[in-house]
């Protein structure tokens, strides 16, 4: 029994002292397998690997460094952790008004490539999984509701977007009334916009306010 324990310590000692290196394609394939478990093969085909995924490692001097995961065939130094990222664009046939579900998700792996936490998938509406049809008020109705709030004079026609609020788990029509537009920074618009947020299922007004948009300087 003592010999077995001694051998185990001898094998693990180099890893503990000098850290672990991995082939980067092995890390990505490991993360892919974990994500496929969460999404299933039929949805994983809509996941696009983010080439800007980074990993953390420690140099021989013990300094923390970051490197692009797929820049080299092997990781550098003592591998600490990574957060492998994908961008999802999933067709949403049971809600044609929404069209496509888009969002970033990731799998976090520790130094032994164990999954740290479940990936963030809250941007996928619950009715996608239950395959229910979304019952939403038409865009034209949302515009009428917004206009009933006596909007300020805008500089262009109202713009409308259908969004999914991940915290409240509801769809909203966001009606935007642009009031001003200028370019403080070249090629970047900024100004004031009046926004009316409407519950897309009930037609109830959630919020009506004026905001500043554009880059912050």
- Domain ranges in the chain? 2-130, 139-213
Distance CA 42, CA 45 (A): 6
As a whole number, mean pLDDT of residues 104-127 equals 96
Given a contact cutoff of 8 angstroms between Cβ atoms, the answer to whether 88 and 105 are in contact is: yes
Given a contact cutoff of 8 angstroms between Cβ atoms, the answer to whether 54 and 82 are in contact is: yes
Would you give the distance in Å from CA 45 to the centre of its chain?
A: 16
Classify strands 188-199 and 64-68 as parallel, antiparallel or unpaired.
unpaired
Distance CA 209, CA 193 (A): 9
115 secondary structure, DSSP code: B
CB atoms within 10 A of CB 122: 13
User: Is the Cα dihedral 109, 111, 112, 117 positive or negative?
Assistant: negative
Distance CA 34, CA 43 (A): 13
**pLDDT attached to residue 17:** 40
**pLDDT attached to residue 172:** 98
As a whole number, mean pLDDT of residues 4-33 equals 67
Q: What is the pTM of this model?
A: 0.80
Given a contact cutoff of 8 angstroms between Cβ atoms, the answer to whether 106 and 83 are in contact is: yes
Write the pLDDT tens digit of every residue in 136-194: 999 999 999 999 999 999 999 999 999 999 999 999 999 999 999 999 888 899 999 99
**pLDDT attached to residue 1:** 45
**pLDDT attached to residue 3:** 46
Residue 47, beta-bridge partner list = 88
Residue 13 has pLDDT above 60, yes or no: no
**pLDDT attached to residue 19:** 55
Q: What per-residue string of b and e applies to 58-95 under the rule 16 or more CB within 10 Å gives b?
A: beeeeeeeebebbeeeebbbbbbbbbbbbebebebeeb
């Amino acid at each position: 029994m003592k010999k077995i324990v001694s051998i185990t310590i001898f094998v693990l000692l180099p890893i503990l002292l000098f850290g672990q290196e991995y082939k980067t394609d092995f890390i990505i394939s490991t993360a892919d397998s974990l994500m496929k478990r969460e999404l299933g093969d039929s949805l994983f085909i809509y996941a696009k690997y983010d080439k800007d995924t980074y990993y953390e490692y420690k140099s021989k001097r013990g300094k923390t460094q970051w490197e692009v995961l797929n820049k080299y065939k092997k990781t550098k130094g003592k591998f600490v952790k990574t957060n492998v990222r994908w961008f999802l664009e999933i067709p949403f046939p049971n809600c044609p008004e929404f069209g496509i579900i888009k969002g970033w998700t990731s799998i976090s792996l520790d130094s032994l490539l164990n999954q740290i936490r479940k990936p963030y998938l809250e941007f996928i509406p619950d009715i996608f999984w239950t395959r229910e049809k979304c019952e939403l008020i038409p865009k034209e109705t949302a515009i009428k509701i917004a206009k009933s709030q006596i909007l300020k004079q805008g500089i262009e026609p109202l713009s409308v977007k259908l969004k999914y609020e991940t915290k409240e788990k509801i769809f909203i029509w966001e009606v935007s009334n642009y009031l001003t537009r200028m370019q403080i920074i070249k090629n970047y618009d900024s100004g004031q916009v009046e926004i009316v947020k409407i519950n897309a299922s009930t037609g109830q007004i959630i919020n009506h306010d004026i905001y500043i948009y554009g880059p912050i300087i």
